Amino acid sequence: MKTILALSIIPQVIIVKLLGKYPEFIEEYYSTGFYVYLSKLFRYIFGWVPFSVGDIMYTLLGILIVRFFILKGSLFFKTTRVFLREVFMALSLAYGIFHILWALNYYRLPLHKSLNLKDGYTTEELVEFTTKLIHKANEVHLQITGKDSIKVNFPYSKKEIFKMTKNGYDHLSEKYPQFAYTPKSIKNSLYSTGLTYMGYSGYLNPFTNEAQVNGLIYNFKFPTTSCHEIAHQLGYSAENEANFIGYLAAVHNDDIYFKYSAYIFVLRYCLGEMKRRDEQQFKEFNTQINYGIILNYIEVSNFWAKYQNKAEPVFKSTYNTFLKANQQKEGLKSYNYVVSLLVNYYRNKVL
């Protein structure tokens, strides 16, 4: 029985890869079907708990792994077959549960198809959109500060931001019912310090469906990060899609600080893409941005610089490989493809 369980990872991988060839099937029967009810169930079970149940689960799992190697590590040298069977039993269970609870969303229909958006854009379209985005970001920045040289300081605590986050999704779901978000399950990660050294702002725990946000990041980054992780909770696994939905949820929020967070969040991606395509235009755009916004960007840059370490590239490389193995061929670069969704979404809309 143990051997069968260990070897079951092979047919599991084959089944997942076969299902991945039918994104319409995954979209209809898993992502917008079974998963919707499953994720709500988990958010009802764990959402009310004030701390991260998933982080505690990972702590216990880490202890069990250490215990396993202490008690059975010697089997690797004595009876390698038995040791490997034990390891593959665990991997097989984890793989199956991971895909049933969340990871089949990696194979769903791309968001640009389900929203009937075009895929791709020209440099001219990027320039046009970025020009409008800078104007809007400057406008909102001035509404908050009154002066273009003053950085924005959020007046809310992180707990308050968590409570306010659902407002944007409520408004967004009036246009797109698939983005309805209830109940709420979003929390500070107990491992915020570790996440910071690894270079991450948050993550979704696929086993408890809790959205985890790095509690150390600046408050003005909190709205979009929270909205991004909620997008993952709703079953949008691709990072560019979570960025896009997170932006839409933040910009649809009634609160002007959420809107500011949304605009400068995606502006950074547009500027990055502009620099890649036309560095002279990129430099021109930088002269048009309110200095207070630049100060907020510098603030974030300095924050991450304090936590840079030799291990961070290893974590990033590992996650990059993980993304590529799960339908995101560009790995970490896939975060940047939010620009394509933005340009095409606003093609016939007012920013």
Residue 233 near residue 204 (C-beta atoms within 8 A): yes
CB–CB of 154/255 below 8 Å? no
Tell me the pLDDT tens digit for each residue of 210-220.
999 999 998 88
Query: What is residue 323's predicted lDDT score, i.e. its pLDDT?
Result: 46
pLDDT digits (tens, 9 = 90+) for 131-180: 999 999 999 999 999 999 999 999 999 999 999 999 999 999 999 999 99
Predicted pLDDT of residue 332? 41
Cα separation of 97 and 135, whole Å? Answer: 46
Least confident stretch, 34-38, 74-78, 259-263: 74-78
Which pLDDT value is given to residue 7?
87
**The pLDDT of residue 197 is above 70:** yes
* C-beta atoms surrounding 107 within 10 Å: 22
Do 202 and 214 contact (CB within 8 A), yes or no?
Answer: yes
| Helices and strands, counts by H and E, the chain | 18, 3
Choice among 29-43, 184-198, 299-313 with the minimum mean pLDDT: 299-313
Sheet holding 202-205, edge to edge: 186-188, 210-213, 202-205
